[in-house]
A and B are shown apart, each in its own frame.
Chain A
Amino acid sequence: MTYSKLTQTLSRVSKLCLSLVLVISASSLTLNEAIAAEASGFRARLSPMPTTPQTKNTITGGGEAVASLAGNRLTLTGEFAGMSSAATMAHIHNGPPAQPGPVVAALTATAGTSGKLSAEIELTDEQVAALKANALYVQIHSATNPAGELRGWLFAQP
């Protein structure tokens, strides 16, 4: 979907973001609703990093992040829960869907097995292009999974 097409569907995005925000947290509702109304929205479902029968009980949890882009400014909030150990770091990475890539920026994450994510980031033009090509993703690292426990690609919301 092109950027202009997205802006034509702002009201739909706004409604969708509102419902997502309700899921995420009451406190960030106003902020996200406001952002959604004036910018393009993205969403990532956070789910466990690649697992095997041996690791499925040690790479766990889920969550959601929503992000909006105004110019090159990306505002992201999110929530996660059920990780096997406390979050240590969270990042945005650059890689096309299902293909890992390098870190773009750090996120603020609650140092717990559940909590919140947030970030305000000035993206480069290349990073904005990557975002619009579904090629930015959120990854949360934990004490027992330093290589990452939760991950999710940001997709433009229809």
Chain B
Amino acid sequence: MSVILSTGTGIAIGLLGLAMLLCAIRLVRGPSVADRVLALDTLYVNSLALLMTLGIRLAEPAFFDAALLIALLGFLATVALAKYRLQGDIID
């Protein structure tokens, strides 16, 4: 691990942590349900980027599988929550 890579991943992890904190603030404060679902959606996308950055920092390819799982389940959760608010039913 070179100095350039460790510095770059450190800065990126800090920025992504700040971004996730902002999403959490919107998740708590959001006036409507759509705001909270949008905050949750952004939160999982940011956690995806954070996981890939950690995978580079630790040189561990296994983080990719966790990121793929989060991408699949996060999209399903967003669609399910939005359709529940839209129709009062998820599967019809």
**A is bound by B:** no
* Chain B residues engaging chain A, CB cutoff 8 angstroms: none
Binding site for B on A (CB under 8 A): none
